[in-house]
Amino acid sequence: MQAVDFMGQYLDWKRLISSTLSKEIMNEAVPEGAKGIVLAGMGGSGIVSDIVYEMLKQAVNVPLTIVKDFELPRWARKGWVVIGISYSGNTMETIEVIRKALNRGCFVSAVTSGGKLAELMIREGYPLIKIPGGRAPRSSLPALLTGVLRLLEMLSVERRLSEYVEKAMYILDDEKFIEMWSEKLVKHLSSKIPVWVVNQKYYPLALRAKDEFNENSKTLSLINVYPESAHNDIVGWERWFGPVASVVFREEKDEILAYIAKYMQEQGVIAEEILLEKATSPDAYLKNVLLWSQIVGVASVKTAINRGINPAETRSILDYKEFIKKLRSK
């Protein structure tokens, strides 16, 4: 794929959300009083689990459990809902988890563009949202997220979730803002190992930024999540720390992260602070995460282009997937 086409996949997020909102939910159904919800997915699909967890952990009454593995925890059994999230629908880890969930009598559902996961839902008669295919999984974040939020709304876990996405999509269309901030990030991180610094609530944004710089820019990248990092990672900034540059995403009035940003600068870390609008509701949070995921995505694609790398190609992931396929068919 040409880099310019790939970049286009980050600039059409409003349209992508709109089109996902209009997709029908196949096999619509509501299990009685879910005891808990497992969100299962890997990489660019699994990041949706983290966003949903932080977005809803102060809103929902049932426990959420995130799975990024082949295994399903023992407590996920009859009465639990297990949602599989896989853009391709052929992610081995996610399919194995969904199969285990079916064997245990869990209620399952899925968000995918097709593949075996879609087949499984259709065959077993469980809810499925098919999102637009033919893109990279990571540039389809808004579609995957919209799909999962619509499923959670259908399951009566929380109301108004599709309304939140609908409101959020209008801020994903500001090309001037995207251009300005992505350029700023590109310059700041040029020839550096990026360190993404956030509080627990924005852990998904830092993770997303790391993943995007891994996949698109082919670079090592790391994250610090406060307050936890104040008990360990922070000490790593006392001495020599290699060729890094950090980006601190913090809500206005987050005094802890303001302290951390200042501390890092005093230690000689090149640190750029990005102020997010204060978000006290799930919909305001959703806006922040989507907007900055979009900007970070564009910055990681630009960084790849500057380095003469193809941002779309992720050879080592394909090799791993081939390996796993062979391993599992042995």
User: For binding to a copy of itself (CB under 8 A), which residues are involved?
Assistant: 36, 42-44, 46, 57-65, 68-71, 73-75, 77, 93, 193, 200, 210-211, 213-215, 218-222, 227-228, 230-244, 255-256, 259-260, 263, 307, 309, 314-317, 319-320, 323-324, 327
Q: In the bound complex, what is the minimum distance in angstroms from residue 270's beta carbon to a copy of itself?
A: 14
Nearer to a copy of itself, 113 or 169 (CB): 113
3-state SS of the chain is CCHHHHHHHHHCHHHHHHHHHCCCEECCCCCCCCCEEEEEECHHHHHHHHHHHHHHCCCCCCCEEEECCCCCCCCCCCCEEEEEEECCCCCHHHHHHHHHHHHCCCEEEEEECCHHHHHHHHHHCCCEEECCCCCCCHHHHHHHHHHHHHHHHHCCCCCCHHHHHHHHHHHHHCHHHHHHHHHHHHHHHCCCEEEEEEEHHHHHHHHHHHHHHHHCCCCCCEEEEECHHHHCHHHHHCCCCCCEEEEEEEECCCHHHHHHHHHHHHCCCEEEEEEECCCCCHHHHHHHHHHHHHHHHHHHHHHHHHCCCCCCCCHHHHHHHHHHHHHHHC
Name the phi and psi angles at 109, rounded to 5. Answer: -160, 175
Q: In the bound complex, what is the minimum distance in angstroms from residue 31's beta carbon to a copy of itself?
A: 17
Nearer to a copy of itself, 3 or 62 (CB): 62
Q: In the bound complex, what is the minimum distance in angstroms from residue 230's beta carbon to a copy of itself?
A: 4
Q: In the bound complex, what is the minimum distance in angstroms from residue 36's beta carbon to a copy of itself?
A: 6
Nearer to a copy of itself, 20 or 216 (CB): 216
Nearer to a copy of itself, 162 or 267 (CB): 267
Nearer to a copy of itself, 175 or 242 (CB): 242
CA distance 40 to 22: 24
Nearer to a copy of itself, 158 or 169 (CB): 158
Nearer to a copy of itself, 1 or 180 (CB): 1
Nearer to a copy of itself, 169 or 204 (CB): 204
Q: In the bound complex, what is the minimum distance in angstroms from residue 92's beta carbon to a copy of itself?
A: 8
CA distance 287 to 293: 10
Nearer to a copy of itself, 230 or 274 (CB): 230
**CA 62 vs CA 65, 129, 147, 192, 273: distances in Å:** 10, 22, 20, 42, 35
Q: In the bound complex, what is the minimum distance in angstroms from residue 123's beta carbon to a copy of itself?
A: 25
- On whether the CB atoms of residues 8 and 309 are closer than 8 A, the answer is no
Q: In the bound complex, what is the minimum distance in angstroms from residue 101's beta carbon to a copy of itself?
A: 14
Q: In the bound complex, what is the minimum distance in angstroms from residue 18's beta carbon to a copy of itself?
A: 27
Q: In the bound complex, what is the minimum distance in angstroms from residue 194's beta carbon to a copy of itself?
A: 10
